[in-house]
Structure formats: structure tokens, C-alpha cells
A = this chain, B = another copy of it.
């Protein structure tokens, strides 16, 4: 399992991004991907890079369909070969 978080910043579309974030969360719900909204990003857990990247592309495409002309995406990816990880295991490891 790969755990990642991402933020997508629309440029040229005003200072508020909440409608875009909500649309991306809707996409995640429909895709069945396990995710958690954070104050600065959205965390996801996926089985493969392919799954992660298909989603990132679909989310960019969604914002483009909503009229966004430039998107800056930032992704952090944690991949461990020495043990299984998940959103839950990572939160438990730090006592949440």
C-alpha cells in the first residue's frame, strides 16, 4: 500500500478553492479510494502508483472541466518496502 497526500491549487480562478476541493472529494468517493481531508491537503491510500496517478490526472481533468486554466499540484508519497502501511497505521503510529 502507498500512502500519499496532495494539494491542487487553481491559479486564475479567485482566492477560494473549496468548490474545487469538494469536487475532487466527490471523485474520490465515487472511485472508492480511501481518503482523509486534511486542513492543507487530502490524504489517500492506494495499491499502486498507477492508481494514484490515474486519480491525480482525473482530478486535474475535473478542475479543467470546471474552467480552471492553470493547476499546481503538490504530492507527497510514502512507499515502504519493509512493512505494510495505511492511513490508519500511520495515524496510530503517532498516537492519533
| Chain A residues packing against B (C-beta within 8 Å) | 3-5, 7, 9-15, 17-18, 21-22, 25, 36-41, 43, 45, 49-50, 52-53, 56-57, 60, 64, 68-82, 87, 90-91, 93-96
Contact = CB atoms under 8 A, between A and B. Distances in A.
Q: Is the interface of A mostly helix, strand, loop or mixed?
A: mixed
Contacts of A72: 7, 9, 72, 76-79
A39 B79 contact: no
B79 A76 contact: no
Given A9-B9, A94-B25, A73 B76 contact: yes
Contacts of A64: 81
A3 B71 CA distance: 11
